[in-house]
Amino acid sequence: MAGDQLSATFSALGDPTRRAILARLSDGEATVGELAAPFDMTLAAVSKHLRVLEAAGLVTRGRDAQFRPARLNARPLAAASEWIGDYARFWGDSLGALDHYLNAFQQLRTTADDKENNHG
C-alpha cells in the first residue's frame, strides 16, 4: 500500500501546474479561484488538477459555506522525501568513495612524479 501511495504522490508531482498549486497551498488554504489566478486556464482545469492532488492525498478540501478551500497535506511528501533520501545517501556514499579513490590516485601520482624528478 505504501508503494501505491508513493506512486500516486510522484504521479501527482509530475505536472508543473500541480507543483505550483502545492507551493501556493504551502502558504495557506485557497479557493479554486485563488489557485487559478496565476494560470492561463479555466477553473474547471484547475479543479481537475486539484482532484488529482486530492486522490494522491496531497490536498484536502473543506466546506466553508459555498466555498471549498483546498489545504496542503504534506504527509505524503514526507514519504517521498524519505524515499529520495535513501538514494541521496547512496550517491553521497558513492561520490565519497570516488573522492577517496581520486585522492589516493593523486598521492600515488605525486609520489611517482617526485621519484622521477629526483632521479631524472
Same domain, 116 and 60: no
Summarised one tens digit per residue, pLDDT across range 72-93 is 999 999 999 998 888 877 777 7
Over pLDDT 70: what percentage of the chain? 93
> What is the number of structural domains in the chain?
2
Residues 29-55: tens digit of each pLDDT:
999 999 999 999 999 999 999 999 999
Q: Which residue range is the domain that position 27 belongs to? A: 2-73
User: What is the spatial distance between Cα 27 and Cα 35, in angstroms, rounded to a whole number?
Assistant: 12
Whether residue 82 sits in one domain with residue 65:
no
pLDDT at 16 over 80: yes
Q: What is the pLDDT of residue 3?
A: 58
- b/e code 37-58 from CB counts within 10 Å (16+ = b): eeeeeeeeebeebbebbeebbb
What was the pLDDT predicted at 120? Answer: 57
Question: Are the CB atoms for 25 and 71 separated by under 8 Å?
Answer: yes
Q: Are residues 62 and 80 in the same domain?
A: no
Quick check: 2 pLDDT over 60?
Answer: no
